[in-house]
Amino acid sequence: MKVDTRLLDRVSSGPEFDAKLCLNCGTCTALCPLGLEILPRKIFHHVLLGDKERLLAEENAIFSCLLCRMCEVNCPGGVHIAENVRALRVYLNEEIHGLAEV
Amino acid sequence: MPVPIASTLGILSDNLRKRRSALPLSRRARTGWARGLALPHGGETVIYTGQMWQMVPSINAMAHQLGKYENSSSGSLFRFARSMNKLVNLTPFLARVSAKDRAFYDERLRNIARLLQNAGVPFGYLYEDDLYTGALAYDEGLDPAFVRHAQYVYSVLKARGVRRLITVDPHTTNMLRTVYPKVVKGFDLEVRSYLEVLDARHPKAQKKLDVQATYHDSCLYARAEGVVEPPRRLLAGAGLRMVEPELSGKLTFCCGGPLETLFPGKSADIARQRIEQLRSVDHRVITACPLCFANLSRAAPKDTEIRDISDYLSEAYAATPA
Ligand code: SF4
Ligand code: SF4
């Protein structure tokens, strides 16, 4: 795996990204209407590890999230999951969708 | 395969920058609902639609079109659409709205305005300056375009001397009350949903409705804005016997609406699941969001009756005009 040492910084430069508060309990995935493995075993983990390739491969999952916050209101770690998902969207929009310009 | 994400979001971002809306609508489509209601132009307190109710007939028509592409490889078509849309507003072509659909959604806004009038709430309307808040662009992470748009919307509200906003849907409420203060410096407007405004006045029903129904909480009202009790108190006051689904209030289950643009198939799956949960307690379902209403209605079997909360409330609380 190629490590992108700037990945976490890039993702954190937009909306709040506090995935490091995650306790790895799996409540979010269990409650998600889509069963998204948003946290922690997959997508957010890729960011914390600097695994850009795996992160980009999750584009569909990242844009599938309803931002419904069923996970968030039940998260024992107090992770702002919906904002984290938005942070990833902002990053992907800049990085691969060519939608960065202001 | 979903619809092409980059091109679809590109269209959204371009529309917001160039036309200040996700789905740019004609003046008549935006403000026609207020005809004949004699709403004053502007003022310190205004009803703020954020064009959400007005947009739903176009979203319905568009969803129908996009649904055809969800499982095809139509990337080049979408890329072409995006470049065309930079030059001409494609919305009226992509989304042919029937007059009946438009009139139906307009009527919900008229319900809400009449309820406020009947409750003696003084308010005006900004007509041309009642702008879309940029909710969808925010959700999709189009932050550069969204932030600039939000600042513009706020500058218009300040220039019009507005101090209090009465919102009519959860998305606009959440944007203005929770998101704008984070991205617009000095934001100082008071924002309340019409359900909160009405509830605070403890209105007396003019007519009691003898009906049993279940209420679908919108995710944003329930989890982000704490609007859980006002709709229930108003419905109970109107005489309705409310039965709760297993997942309600803060633990409500999404209607699937947010996925409609990019993943219409998944969106419909979620809606069907939610409808089943609601129908297991009652076939009469009440919504309080135009997007929940539209998405659940599409998924519901014929014997399910879905109505907006403003229908019941106006029958009970605005039975006779103010
Ligand atoms: S519910 Fe919260 S703490 Fe548990 S795995 Fe999900 S994000 Fe982590
Ligand atoms: S906010 Fe996203 S990840 Fe969380 S429960 Fe809803 S759809 Fe699933």
What's the gap in Å between A101 CA and the centre of ligand 2?
28
Grouping H, G, I as helix, E, B as strand and the rest as coil, residue A47 is: helix
Residue B232: what residue type?
R
Q: Out of B14-23, B67-76, B104-113, B236-245, which region has the weakest mean confidence (pLDDT)?
A: B67-76
Q: Whose CA is nearest to atom 8 of ligand 2?
A: A32
Q: Is the pLDDT confidence value at A99 over 90?
A: no
According to the model, what pLDDT value does residue A35 have?
Answer: 86
B204-317, CATH topology level = Rossmann fold (3.40.50)
What is the tens place of the pLDDT at every residue in B204-246?
Answer: 999 999 999 999 999 999 999 999 999 999 999 999 999 999 9
> CA–CA separation, B236 vs B187, rounded Å?
35
Query: Domain boundaries in chain A?
Result: 7-96
Confidence band, pLDDT 50/70/90 cuts, at residue B94: low
The span from the first CA to the last CA of chain A, in angstroms, equals: 33
Q: Out of A74-83, B62-71, B255-264, which region has the weakest mean confidence (pLDDT)?
A: B62-71
Q: What is the pTM of this model?
A: 0.93
Query: Domain boundaries in chain B?
Result: 5-198, 204-317
Question: How close does chain A come to B198, measured CA to CA in Å?
Answer: 26
Q: How much is the average pLDDT of A12-19? A: 88
According to the model, what pLDDT value does residue A101 have?
Answer: 64
What is the tens place of the pLDDT at every residue in B137-170?
Answer: 999 999 999 999 999 999 999 999 999 999 999 9
Confidence band, pLDDT 50/70/90 cuts, at residue B67: low
Confidence band, pLDDT 50/70/90 cuts, at residue A100: confident
Q: For residues B245 and B261, which has the higher predicted lDDT (pLDDT)?
A: B245
According to the model, what pLDDT value does residue B73 have?
Answer: 52
Task: Choose one of A22, A27, A29, A34 to mutate for the ligand 2 pocket test, by most ligand atoms within 8 angstroms of C-beta.
Answer: A34
Query: For B200, how many CA atoms within 13 A lie in the half-sphere containing its CB?
Result: 11
Q: Is the pLDDT confidence value at B320 over 50?
A: yes
Measured between beta carbons, which residues in chain B are less than 8 angstroms from residue A66?
A: 219, 254, 256, 258-259, 270
Q: Is the pLDDT confidence value at B84 over 90?
A: no
Confidence band, pLDDT 50/70/90 cuts, at residue A70: very high
State what percent of residues in chain B have pLDDT above 70. 88
According to the model, what pLDDT value does residue A41 have?
Answer: 60
According to the model, what pLDDT value does residue B120 have?
Answer: 96
The span from the first CA to the last CA of chain B, in angstroms, equals: 53
Q: Is the pLDDT confidence value at B113 over 90?
A: yes
According to the model, what pLDDT value does residue B97 have?
Answer: 81
Question: Measured between CB atoms, which of B10, B139, B148 is closest to A99?
Answer: B10
According to the model, what pLDDT value does residue A14 have?
Answer: 84
- Whether B129 and B63 have beta carbons less than 8 Å apart is answered as no
Q: How much is the average pLDDT of B199-203? A: 96
Secondary structure in 3-state letters for chain B: CCCCHHHHHHHHHHHHHHHCCCCCCCHHHHHHHHCCCCCCECCCEEEECCCHHHHHHHHHHHHHHHHCCCCCCCHHHHHHHHHHHHHCCCHHHHCCCCHHHHHHHHHHHHHHHHHHHHCCCCCEECHHHCCCCCHHHHHCCCHHHHHHHHHHHHHHHHHCCCCEEEECCHHHHHHHHHHHHHHCCCCCCEEEEHHHHHHHCCCCCCCCCCCEEEECCCHHHHHHCCCCHHHHHHHHHCCCEECCCCCCHHHCCCCCHHHCCCCHHHHHHHHHHHHHHHHCCCCEEEECCHHHHHHHHHHCCCCCEEEEHHHHHHHHHCCCCC
> CA–CA separation, B47 vs B200, rounded Å?
16
Q: Whose CA is nearest to atom 6 of ligand 1?
A: A28
Q: How much is the average pLDDT of B89-116? A: 85
Which token pair is B29? 């489509």
State what percent of residues in chain A have pLDDT above 90. 60
- Whether A64 and A22 have beta carbons less than 8 Å apart is answered as no
> CA–CA separation, B134 vs B151, rounded Å?
11
Confidence band, pLDDT 50/70/90 cuts, at residue B90: low
According to the model, what pLDDT value does residue A32 have?
Answer: 93
Q: How much is the average pLDDT of A70-93? A: 94
Residue B7: what residue type?
S
CB contact under 8 A, B219 and A33: no
CB contact under 8 A, A93 and B141: yes
- Cβ-based burial of B209 (10 A; exposed 0-12, middle 13-18, buried ≥19): middle
According to the model, what pLDDT value does residue B14 have?
Answer: 86
According to the model, what pLDDT value does residue B1 have?
Answer: 47
According to the model, what pLDDT value does residue B263 have?
Answer: 87
| Positive or negative: CA dihedral B176, B182, B184, B189 | positive
Q: For residues B240 and A17, which has the higher predicted lDDT (pLDDT)?
A: B240
Residue B47: what residue type?
I
Q: Out of A14-18, B45-49, B116-120, which region has the weakest mean confidence (pLDDT)?
A: A14-18
Question: How close does chain B come to A58, measured CA to CA in Å?
Answer: 13
